[in-house]
Amino acid sequence: MQSTTSFFPQGFRTFVTNIGIRDTSDDFVLVKSDVPCIADGVFTQSLFAGPSVTISRHHLKNSQAQGIVVISKNANVANGSVGVADAEEIIQIIANETGILTNDIVIASTGVIGRRYPMEKIRAGLLGIGQKLTTADFHLAARGIMTTDTVTKLATRQVGNAKLVGIAKGVGMIEPNMATMLAFFFTDAAIPKDVLRSIFRPTIDKTFNCLSVDTDTSTSDSAVILANGLAGEVQGQEFAHALQEISHE
């Protein structure tokens, strides 16, 4: 694995900051593709899934996305209709600031349950976000999605002319079916949506869904992949192998 940003897939931009959720560490991450992506997602099986999960499931029904926003240290769960409205407002603001369609934005949240987002701080922090995006630094993104993790989790692979990167957050409360875990994958490979789905879901089953530590489940588990196609087509079996290696790592 190389640590230089030159090894990251092309056509992605990131913005990572402290937006005032809980402490002074980074707690807000936006990853934007320059073009709409073929996308897929696997989410918690909890019947009490939070707004981030229910909204993202809906937005990924057409297998397309262009941006992922992650808020750490606040799960936005058990806040009723207000929590849904807050998540939808954040998506709308990001859409307005970046030009991404609202339905092409995936949102994920992790952290404290039962506490509302500090919306005034978030609104202020999102002003001008479209101009603050820079060439993607997934090391910063991996750090920004952490809660009580002690190390960042990032892995990369080359697949033909394309590159694939994965970042993850997960610590404590891990039970089968990804509990309290977020994982995001980004590639510039061109993958048809039916092929991506046939690869991604079995990969999650064979890796993240095999974890078990302490019997708690989560309302926020999310694993999402974006493929913007800018590096051209790759061999499907080779891509599947690389994805599983990253997920396992």
Known catalytic residue at 180: yes
Please tell me the class of the 5-248 domain.
alpha beta
For residue 210, what are the contacts with CB-CB under 8 A and spacing of at least 6? 176
| Average pLDDT, integer, range 71-90 | 87
Predicted pLDDT at 152 = 86
Q: Please tell me the distance from the alpha carbon of residue 216 to that of residue 214, in angstroms, as a whole number.
A: 6
For residue 40, the tally of other CB atoms under 10 A from its CB is 24
Q: Has residue 15 got a pLDDT over 90? A: yes
User: For residue range 225-243, what is the model confidence (pLDDT) as tens digits?
Assistant: 999 999 999 999 999 999 9
User: For residue range 154-198, what is the model confidence (pLDDT) as tens digits?
Assistant: 999 999 999 999 999 876 544 444 446 789 999 999 999 999 999
- Choosing from 44, 180, 207, 219, the catalytic residue is 180
Dihedral, CA atoms, 83, 85, 90, 96, nearest 10 degrees?
180
User: For residue range 211-224, what is the model confidence (pLDDT) as tens digits?
Assistant: 655 555 566 678 89
Predicted pLDDT at 52 = 80
Q: Please tell me the distance from the alpha carbon of residue 206 to that of residue 42, in angstroms, as a whole number.
A: 13
pTM, 2 dp: 0.91
Structure confidence at residue 104 as a pLDDT band (50, 70, 90)? very high
Nearest CA-CA partner of 64 in 95, 98, 33, 90: 33
Q: Please tell me the distance from the alpha carbon of residue 104 to that of residue 66, in angstroms, as a whole number.
A: 5
User: What are the domain boundaries of the chain?
Assistant: 5-248
Q: Has residue 45 got a pLDDT over 70? A: no
Q: Please tell me the distance from the alpha carbon of residue 249 to that of residue 207, in angstroms, as a whole number.
A: 9
At 120, list the tokens.
């005034």
